[in-house]
């Protein structure tokens, strides 16, 4: 894995990244983990990697028959959608096709109120635009179906694989060096308990999940998800509908059930990949065919000169 680790070390040494932790796992467990300007065990804000972590909790509720992908948001939030002539379903929320107008990452108004009052961007299912607020809807459905707080539902499956560093507690986590300059008040953001972006964690937590997902891809049962459920989460839900800014069609991905499917990314050696990135440079990707999962944790919104595709290719090539 030297090429990938040398690449990240070079970014930190050159100041393109303030700090970083890079880790790689197989189905057998973590095979490489190193911090650069940070300890490998440091906790970082994960931002949108939170999305599929909540998605796993929602998928487990689907396995139990408590939800389906067709469950309407109004089942959990009856006041949602006043004046809309469409129906927003769980699958719309999970694939960025719900058409709910997006607020800032750190709104002053509580997220549930934002969910109800933001209004419609487009008709559900007619287009795709990236939405973190939609995950407040997923959280509401999980809580309504299970009777448990969404973060507790995540903690339950995470505890099963020893990913016990995942938390909404930002105290002691690595600071995002340019958050304020990028317009986000991190104290206000942390207080939101944002189900689309709020979790903090270690590289090891995500590597444990990566190993678990690779085992499930290999047919293992009895894990955090059944193989058929993970396959459901990986099915593209966006097809050829219009992709609106910021994830336009040329960026080369589909959206599954909370997973980013980079199945059309032109710069990748291996397009059999799913995962998610986060606002301050965090990355978590699983390559089932290659048998590899990898994590990059870092802490800068602006990262000129850092090429994600080049890093992914270096990990997959393992030279």
Mean pLDDT of all residues in 15-28: 98
Query: Which pLDDT score, from 0 to 100, does residue 1 have?
Result: 80
CA dihedral 89, 90, 94, 95 (to 10 degrees): -30
Express each pLDDT in 223-262 by its tens digit.
999 999 999 999 999 999 999 999 888 888 899 999 999 9
Does residue 319 carry a pLDDT above 80? no
C-alpha 146/C-alpha 148 separation (Å) is 5
Fold adopted by 2-317: Beta-lactamase (3.40.710)
SS3 content of the chain, % helix, strand, coil (to 5): 35, 15, 50
Domain boundaries, the chain: 2-317
Query: Which pLDDT score, from 0 to 100, does residue 251 have?
Result: 87
Confidence of residue 138 (pLDDT cuts 50, 70, 90): very high
C-alpha 93/C-alpha 72 separation (Å) is 10
Confidence of residue 19 (pLDDT cuts 50, 70, 90): very high
Express each pLDDT in 169-182 by its tens digit.
999 999 999 999 99
**What is the percent of the chain with per-residue pLDDT over 90, rounded to a whole number?**
96
The model carries a pTM of 0.97
Express each pLDDT in 46-78 by its tens digit.
999 999 999 999 999 999 999 999 999 999 999
> Peptide bond preceding 246: is omega within 30 degrees of 0, i.e. cis?
yes
Express each pLDDT in 179-219 by its tens digit.
999 999 999 999 999 999 999 999 999 999 999 999 999 99
Mean pLDDT of all residues in 132-140: 98
Does residue 157 carry a pLDDT above 70? yes
């Amino acid at each position: 894995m030297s090429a990938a680790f040398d690449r990240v070390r070079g970014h930190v040494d050159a100041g393109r990244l303030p700090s970083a932790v890079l880790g790689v796992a197989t189905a057998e467990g973590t095979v490489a983990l190193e911090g650069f300007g940070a300890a490998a065990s440091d906790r970082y804000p994960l931002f949108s990697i939170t999305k599929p972590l909540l998605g796993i909790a929602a998928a487990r509720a689907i396995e139990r028959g408590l939800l389906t992908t067709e469950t309407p948001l109004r089942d959990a939030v009856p006041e949602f959608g006043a004046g809309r002539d469409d129906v927003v379903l769980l699958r719309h929320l999970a694939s960025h096709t719900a058409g709910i107008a997006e607020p800032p990452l750190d709104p002053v108004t509580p997220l549930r109120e934002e969910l109800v009052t933001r209004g419609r961007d487009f008709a559900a299912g007619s287009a795709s635009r990236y939405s973190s607020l939609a995950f407040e809807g997923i959280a509401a459905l999980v809580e309504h179906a299970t009777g448990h707080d969404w973060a507790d539902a995540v903690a339950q499956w995470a505890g099963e694989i020893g990913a016990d560093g995942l938390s909404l507690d930002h105290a002691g986590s690595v600071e995002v060096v340019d958050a304020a300059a990028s317009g986000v008040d991190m104290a206000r953001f942390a207080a939101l308990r944002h189900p689309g972006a709020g979790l903090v964690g270690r590289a090891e937590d995500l590597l444990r999940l990566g190993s678990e997902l690779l085992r499930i891809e290999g047919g293992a049962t009895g894990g955090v998800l059944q193989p058929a459920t993970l396959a459901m989460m990986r099915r593209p839900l966006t097809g050829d509908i219009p992709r609106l800014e910021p994830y336009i069609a040329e960026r080369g991905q589909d959206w599954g059930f909370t997973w980013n499917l980079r199945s059309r990314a032109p710069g990748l050696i291996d397009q059999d990949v799913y995962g998610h990135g986060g606002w301050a440079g965090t990355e978590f990707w699983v390559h089932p065919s290659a048998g590899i999962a990898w994590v990059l944790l870092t802490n800068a919104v602006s990262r000129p000169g850092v090429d994600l595709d080049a890093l992914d290719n270096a990990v997959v090539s393992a030279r």
